[in-house]
């Protein structure tokens, strides 16, 4: 192989790696958003269309608790786990 061919192969490899990284970031961001807020979206749609709106044991709407869940988790992470863990949805 000549130096020019090796240089072209290095560029292709970097380009492929760059594309893979970009695709991974986009996919993981989408999955995080869907998993983080997906339950709330599904329950809101079913509550509006079908009328099914489940409640937790203490009477709170499950979709409201799911919507607040990521914010509660962020508070615990920001305190390095020193605050009490939030209720499970």
Q: What is the pLDDT of residues 1-33, one digit of tens each?
A: 555 555 555 566 888 888 888 888 888 777 777
pLDDT band for position 79 (cuts 50, 70, 90): confident
Domain boundaries, the chain: 3-78
Enter the pTM of the model. 0.46
Region 26-49 average pLDDT:
77
pLDDT at 39: 74
- C-alpha dihedral sign at 4, 9, 14, 15: positive
Three-state secondary-structure class, residue 58 = coil
Contact predicate 40/66, CB 8 Å: yes
Helix, strand, coil % in the chain, rounded to nearest 5? 70, 0, 25
């Amino acid at each position: 192989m000549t130096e020019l061919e090796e240089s072209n192969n290095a560029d292709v490899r970097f380009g492929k790696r760059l594309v893979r990284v970009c695709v991974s970031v986009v996919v993981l961001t989408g999955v995080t958003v869907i998993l983080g807020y997906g339950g709330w979206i599904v329950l809101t749609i079913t509550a509006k269309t079908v009328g099914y709106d489940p409640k937790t044991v203490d009477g709170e709407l499950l979709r409201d608790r799911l919507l607040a869940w990521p914010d509660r988790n962020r508070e615990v992470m920001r305190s390095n786990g020193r605050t009490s863990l939030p209720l499970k949805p």
